[in-house]
Structure 1
Amino acid sequence: MKCRHFFTTAALAALCPLTAHAVPDKGKPELTAQTMRSGGPINPEQASLRFDHADLAFEVFPDSETIKGVATLDFTATGSLNRLLIDLDRNLPVSAVSINGKALRPAAWTNPEGKLAITLPRHIAKGGTIRAKITYGGTPHVAVRAPWDDGMVWARTPDGQPWIATTAEGYGCDLFWPCLDFPTGEPGSVDLHITVPAGLKAPSNGVLKGVDTLPDGRTRWNWHAKHPNTYAIALNIGPYKELHATYHSRYGNDIPLYYWYLPGEEEAAKDLFAEFAPTLDFYESKIGPYPFGDEKMGVVHTPYLGMEHQTINGYGNHYKKTPSGFDEIFQHEFGHEWFANQLTAANWDDYWLHEGFEEYMQPLYGLWLQGQARYDAMMLDQRNRIVNKVPMVRGRVITEEEVYEAKDGGPGQDIYFKGAWMLHTLRNLIGDKDFYAATRLEVYGRPDPKPGNFTPRYGSTDEFVRNVNRVTGKDYGWFFNVYLKQAALPELQQHRGNGRLDLSWKVPGGGPFPMPVEVQAGDRFETVPMTDGHGSIAVPDDAHIVLDPHARILKVEPAVEAAKAWEAEQQQ
């Protein structure tokens, strides 16, 4: 989800704004603990709301680095309510509220810590509807190091024009609009109206319904999006130029392709745009139909590395060329349209469903483009980044930062790299056909997705385990119990003597682990079943033995651990 991907200091340095310009201090105005919290246990009053629609009108003022907003939010009560709780950063003070057309006095609402509490003018019974119109504005929080943290990014293009973007995955949507800041708080649809200074454009989510020119020369960009992920609603403002094409999908539908780029980037932009169609075809061939084909496949150049904003992915990778033959940031963010925007984890504890799958789609794309050697090289690079300090899934409702941030006790980068290696191991265990069938079920909720017969959905780890079991006809709970619910990796132990090789698995938690193991003995390859976690085969005493010679199993690798220990020593 975020590709708040993990990069080197040199890569980070390349992300600085192109020209200096007076901006509010990064990290200011300061956020409350409530606003910095995204997800976690849901307040019962907020859980009693179905979010039907949001109409969001923004005015963006680059010179003062402020925004004004009017949010009209439609809810259906799924329980009885006397007040409405909405997440909104207190740095954007509310100036007016109306409920179902009735204006409220200021005493009817309060927002001391970032959870706006509105006393309803009358009790709302289960099944009742609420239309809340909230007028607000101020100085939004400025990101310190987007996209690794969140907020507004106020930058300037090389010729000094405003270049503005938002990120909100970690701290949440309440940084710039009133929302339900948890994964299942997605509105059924959103209309966006973004007013910007003359000469600037505002590409955003969904379908462009029109551009209005106001009497003062400013323009208002009107967009409509269905089922948007809350943190994937994005503002992008700049003097953009546009590339556009139509892609005819293998599923028979036509998909609009758009890339908004900065003036002066024409040749590099065309090179990146040329990657859109093959990348789209790869995902459709392996996973299924592009989820938002009736809206667009959209990408916009942002003053930060990248983010998976639904149908308007942020891209800022400086058109980097890599031996893999594709732009890995573009490919990663675009793949989140399936793994984050179509399939959204209902609980951040299942965050690996977004990042583990998408990280694994990169070497799979390398395999698709260049073959096995590229896949192997990319997988080995990922293997060296696995940490194994915290289980990837902890079995409770937690916030985004509690998963993403190692300093907050989370698995951190393991949701990317360990998640990818777990999926690599699973694919080699159950085979391509079953692997992709289970993935398709998880993404679309059905085995036969076609344009028009599915909508974005919520998923979970437990559901994916059930899908694997359903497709294979076997129980793979033992597999996921080790890789997802334990921090340490399984260890393959061996003993040789009297013409035999004896193997056994030692796994954290001590449960079953019947993972078959391929063995190379001289020029012979043989798979040992390991039915009860143990196996034995006859081998000549003088045979050279290699266990798991094609590196198909995520397990303890002494050489990797020794290298990481040595690197840590050098850093100290």
Structure 2
Amino acid sequence: MKFGSLCAAGLVTLAVTPAAPALAEKGKPELTEQTMRSGGAIPEDQAKLRFTAADLAFEVFPQTETLQGVATLDFTTTAALDRLLIDLDRNLPVSAVSINGRTLKPDAWSNPEGKLTIRLPRRIAKGGAIKARIVYGGTPHVAVRAPWDDGMVWSKTPDGKPWVATTAEGYGCDLFWPCLDFPTGEPGRVDLHITVPKGLKAPSNGVLRGVDTLPDGRTRWNWSVTNPNTYAIALNVGPYEQMSGTYKSRYGNEIPMQLWYLPEHEKGAKQLFAEFAPTLDFFESEIGPYPFRSEKVGVVETPYLGMEHQTINAYGNDYKPAAEGFDWLFQHEFSHEWFGNQLTAANWDDYWLHEGYGTYMQPFYGRWREGEARYAAMMLKIRTGIANRVPIVRDKLLTEEEVYEAGDGGPGLDIYNKGAWMLHTLRNLIGDAAFREVTQRVVYGTPDPRPGNFRPRFGSTDEFIRTVNDVTGKDYGWFFQVYLKQAALPRLEQERSADRLSLHWDVPGNGPFPLPVEVQIGDRIETLPMTGGKGSIAIPEGAHVIIDPYARILKADPAIERLHAWEAAQK
């Protein structure tokens, strides 16, 4: 999150304005359970497809809040196939389908619940090619509270002009276009042709291949993006202005930078654009090369808070100043270019790889900018948000909603906050050099990433654990068993006599947990190795003692537990 052909006839079809229906309400039209499900078990027939390319033509009609589309999808089969299963919201009914140039009769396809089923004209053998052209359109689902809920956002600028955006992380790509709605369903390339009313612009993913002005003043914006995340394809329509620049990378290449903003917000946009280069320098120095250097660093102002749309991240944080000196929303969404778009979790159960790392990058950037005090302040602010109701990782195939939504039994915000604190604890345990190498191997698939020697990849928790063990030469399975695969935090119990402090770890599952602990005695700090999960140290009479004085360890905190209990009681 390529530029293909779109026949003139298809464009003429898209140009016909549909009859004006009543404008859609938030949460309408209603979605089926199938459409609201993203990820999880992959149907057998979809598992036989390799998605090589998509050519997507959209026309956006703000006045009627409707969408028309023509999608040409290229697949290669990995096994013989008799039917094609494509995810597409039934609120966007299909009017025409062709397979490998052959037009099908309407009885050859059906889509009662959001899983478009197309009967192929003939059986396609293993290694065969399928080119499906699907014409569809209608009233797309309107988000209730974007980006926490997905769908279209039909809005107006302060001066009353149309301002439109999409978000699809939770429910998935099938809200807007025919796709494979699971993480490994990424197409190799997507060409986008977005037609919008006169006076509006349509910034999107990847590289702009050109803008066509149609006879009636409408414009068609042609973009091309490689290996986009399934939910990363984004429609953004508005009377945008653009700021552009070029970043000279420490890796020797140059990277285009673009910010699309509403004209009335130019002052704030200039301040935000000034953050692009230093933020990019941080990521390239601490993580590695920007993954989409041949496309762009792109941000677009949206009528909702934000989302990590590959190379065109949504931004709606109102250009607020912050005590940290940088815009956390911009930085967080930008971090997903590495953690989410370059490295994508193959199973939503491993979603902490996106959000845990994505959240950790804000205090890590604070540390890079200002030092340990800023880092500590930001980490402590995150700490109170950890709930510990459900393990971050449950070792099963899950949908996005089953992970992200606490109300559906998922860890919810713990994939952000607890994931970040787990990484903080891990870095302090294994050291900066090892942590950097682990991160680079997981993100790029190599310990020596350079422009041209890596491509977007899929990762998992198990791979992450193996990488930590390989880099350090030690088995840290005990660490991840507690922090990722148990809900409760480790509890550090202590006993103090007149001249001695004894500590022991009480962990869920009662397994080994030899996590070292720093103890400050007066003015000196000593580290207890906690072999076997226990340790003790002599304490001079009357000495002041602080356990874990720099808060390097994620552990149960009675004060935070009391706070959470009080907050629950207030509700």
TM above 0.5: yes
Letter of the 2:306 counterpart = G
Q: What is the alpha-carbon distance in structure 1 between the residues aligned to residue 483 and residue 424 of structure 2?
A: 12
Aligned counterparts of 2:435 and 2:449: Cα–Cα separation in 1:
16
RMSD in angstroms over aligned alpha carbons? 1.0
For 1:388 and 1:23, locate their aligned partners in 2 and report how far apart those are by CA, in whole Å: 42
**1:23–1:154 Cα contact (<8 Å) kept:** no
Corresponding position of 2:503:
503
For 1:10, the equivalent position in structure 2 comes to none
When structure 1 is superposed on structure 2, of 560-569 and 429-438 the one drifting more is 560-569
| Residue 521 (structure 1) shift | 1.4
Name the counterpart of 1:234.
Answer: 234
Instruction: Report whether the alignment pairs 1:320 with 2:335.
Output: no
Which whole-Å deviations, capped at 9, do the CAs of 1:246-301 have from their partners, x for residues lacking one? 11001110000000000111111111000000000001111000000100000000
Structure-2 residue corresponding to 1:536: 536
Write the mapping of 1:249-398 to structure 2, written as runs, cut at 5 A: 249-398=249-398
Q: Which residue of 1 aligns with 2:7?
A: none
Partner of 2:43: 43
Deviation by residue 1:155-181 (Cα, 9 ceiling, x = unmatched): 011111110000000000000000000
CA distance in 2, matches of 1:527, 1:226: 48
Look up the match of 1:514: 514
SS at match of 1:84: strand
Q: Residue 417 of structure 1: CA displacement?
A: 0.3
Matches of residues 47-196 of structure 1 in structure 2 within 5 Å? 47-196=47-196
Aligned AA (2:93): P
Residue 199 of structure 2 aligns with which residue?
199
The superposition leaves residues 367-417 of structure 1 with CA deviations (integer Å, 9 ceiling, x where unpaired) of 111221111111111000100000000000000000000110000000000
Other structure's SS at 1:485 match: coil
* Alpha-carbon shift at residue 470 of structure 1 (Å): 1.0
Q: What secondary structure, in the 3-state scheme, does the structure 1 residue paired with 2:324 have? A: coil
Q: What's the counterpart of residue 7 of structure 1?
A: none
Match of 2:488 in 1: 488
Match of 1:17?
Answer: none
**Paired residues for 1:8-23 under 5 Å:** 23=23
SS at 2:205 equivalent: coil
Q: Match for 2:41: what amino acid? A: P
Distance 1:566 1:82 in 2: 58
CA distance in 2, matches of 1:556, 1:375: 20
Where do 5+ consecutive residues of structure 1 fail to align? Answer: 2-21
CA deviation digits over 1:390-447, x for unaligned, max 9? 0000000000000000110000000000000000000000010000110010000011
Q: How far is the alpha carbon of 1:540 from its aligned partner?
A: 1.6
Q: Distance in 1 between matches of 2:127 and 2:563?
A: 60
Q: Is the 8 A contact 1:497 1:541 kept in 2?
A: no
Mapping of residues 396-435 of structure 1, within 5 Å: 396-435=396-435
- TM normalised by structure 2 equals 0.96
Q: How many residues align?
A: 551
Shift of 1:223: 0.5
Q: TM-score, normalised by structure 1?
A: 0.95
Quote the Cα distance in structure 2 between the aligned partners of 1:79 and 1:350. Answer: 28
Give 1:499 shift: 2.1
Q: Alignment partner of 2:532: what SS?
A: coil
558-567 or 413-422: bigger deviation: 558-567
Unaligned residue ranges in structure 2 (runs of 5+)? 2-21
Could you tell me how far 1:453 is from its partner in structure 2? 1.1
CA distance in 1, matches of 2:447, 2:524: 39
Deviates most, 342-351 or 488-497? 488-497
Residue 560 of structure 1 and its aligned partner are, at CA, apart by 1.2
Alignment partner, residue 9 of structure 1: none
Q: Tell me the amino acid that sits aligned with residue 382 of structure 2.
A: Q
Matched, 1:551 2:551: yes
Question: Post-superposition shift, 1:498?
Answer: 5.4
Distance 1:188 1:63 in 2: 34
CA drift at 1:519 = 0.5
